[in-house]
Amino acid sequence: MFLQNWPGALERSYRLTHALLRPFGRWLVPGGRAESLLAWLEEAGKGAVFDCRMCGQCVLHSTGMTCPMTCPKEMRNGPCGGVRTDGRCEVEPEQPCVWVLAWQRSRAMPRYGDQILQRQPPLDRRLYRTSAWVNEFSGRGRRVPPGWKD
């Protein structure tokens, strides 16, 4: 999606959305009325812009506003060892490596760009199709498996 080539603007839009939702944080709880509405909005909006797969634990601002779930291997930390020397994917050679794009785009993000250097914890697949914003504000999406160390 062409908008992804404007990572600085997308970063500002992420910060704005976070600031707008923060006052309503106490109502953003799993299973609440807001969740189904937000999940629907996320699927429509982020689906159109980021090809969002509704993982429920959004890390876009840590991955150059590039969805890691669009990697054919769904790698949350990348790139894998198979990225081609021309920067293309080893599984889908007609497409650029998602992680090469993520790195390039992260360099245009003054606030969160360096978060791409942090390791992401394993994905909790029980959160698929739930609202990432609800999971963020409720803390459900920030839980990590026992023993996980960043």
Nearer to ligand SF4, 43 or 90 (CB): 43
| Smallest separation (angstroms) from ligand SF4 to the CB of 68 | 6
| Smallest separation (angstroms) from ligand SF4 to the CB of 94 | 21
**Which SS3 state, helix, strand or coil, does residue 126 take?**
helix
| Smallest separation (angstroms) from ligand SF4 to the CB of 96 | 17
Give the span between the Cα atoms of 111 and 109, in whole angstroms: 6
Q: How many CA atoms lie within 13 A of 21 on its CB side?
A: 21
Residue pair 130/35 in contact (Cβ under 8 Å)? The answer is yes
Residue pair 129/56 in contact (Cβ under 8 Å)? The answer is yes
| One residue of 132, 134, 138, 140 binding ligand SF4 per CB under 6 A | 132
Which helix (H) or strand (E) segment holds residue 138: the answer is: helix 132-138
Residue pair 21/28 in contact (Cβ under 8 Å)? The answer is yes
Nearer to ligand SF4, 28 or 55 (CB): 55
| Smallest separation (angstroms) from ligand SF4 to the CB of 104 | 17
Print the binding letters for residues 72-111 with ligand SF4: x by CB under 6 A, - otherwise.
----------------------------------------
Cβ neighbors of 113 (< 8 A, separation 6 or more) are: 11, 64, 106, 107
Residues 11-70 close enough to bind ligand SF4 by CB under 6 A: 46, 50, 52-55, 58-60, 67-69
Which spans of this chain sit near ligand SF4 (rule: CB under 6 A)?
46, 50, 52-55, 58-60, 67-69, 132
